[in-house]
Amino acid sequence: MQKLTRQELLSLEDYAERRNEFRGVVMAHKKERRVEIGPHATLYFEDRTTMLYQVQEMLRVERISESDAIDEELSTYNPLIPDGSNWKATFMIEFEDEAERKTALESMKGIESRVWVKVAGHEHVWAIADEDMERENSEKTSSVHFLRFELSPEMVASAKADQPIAVGIEHEAYCHQSDPVPETIRASLSQDLA
């Protein structure tokens, strides 16, 4: 997938005028890229559209208009756009109760590397986690991780040929998997592949 460039970004003024409409389109798109894994974990599969929205929102919130600062935002978010042989996702562990979340995150150290995707007929693909920075310390894991799932050419071909896709987590403190993802999600994810 092509990375974002500064030339295609809207100015702060233009984005303000188009934000509500664009936000509606992106929120509908994101629904087709969200997969729950059990009651407390979710994968949000990223792509060019989700990252364009993220960059535009960061520029808006931070009131960024200088070229160097815009380039910095692009260099932060472009790595989250799939490269044609992988899926990239934001992995979130979500507990409403703060005390429960603290205890869970302490027991889930290493969970980010125990997340998998599976294209029917192939082996599990385990996540490559947090390539930009470490998000776990000696006490707990983070509630947010960035994952990459690198697929073989055969897996890519199968996914593009409409084979079912499943996701899961195999960790001693949290073990869940999805049934094959719904067709709308499978179709959206197959578009990330070359």
pLDDT one digit per residue (tens) for the chain, 194 residues: 799 999 999 999 999 999 999 999 999 999 999 999 999 999 999 999 999 999 999 999 999 999 999 999 999 999 999 999 999 999 999 999 999 999 999 999 999 999 999 999 999 999 999 887 677 778 899 999 999 999 999 999 999 999 999 999 999 999 999 889 999 999 999 999 99
Edge-first strand listing for the sheet containing 165-171: 125-126, 115-119, 165-171, 174-177
Question: Looking at domain 32-45+83-194, which CATH architecture does it have?
Answer: Sandwich (2.60)
User: Residue 21: left if φ>0, alpha if ψ -120 to 50, beta else—which one?
Assistant: alpha
Contact present, 169 and 141 (Cβ < 8 Å): no
The torsion defined by the Cα of 94, 145, 110 and 1, in degrees rounded to 10, comes to: 130
> H-type helices in 63-152, by residue range?
67-77, 98-107
- pLDDT on residue 135: 77
- pLDDT on residue 130: 85
Q: How far is CA 31 from CA 27, 50, 94, in A?
A: 6, 11, 17
Report how far residue 81's alpha carbon sits from residue 17's, in angstroms, rounded to the nearest whole number.
26
What's the pTM? Answer: 0.92
Q: How far is CA 64 from CA 16, 21, 55, 106, in A?
A: 13, 21, 10, 37
The predicted-structure confidence for 8-48, as pLDDT tens digits, reads as follows: 999 999 999 999 999 999 999 999 999 999 999 999 999 99
| In the chain, ranges of CATH 2.60.40 domains | 32-45+83-194
CA-nearest of 139, 79, 136 to 111 is 136
Question: What is the SS3 assignment for 63?
Answer: coil
**Strands (DSSP E) along 76-143, which ranges?**
86-93, 115-119, 125-126, 128-129
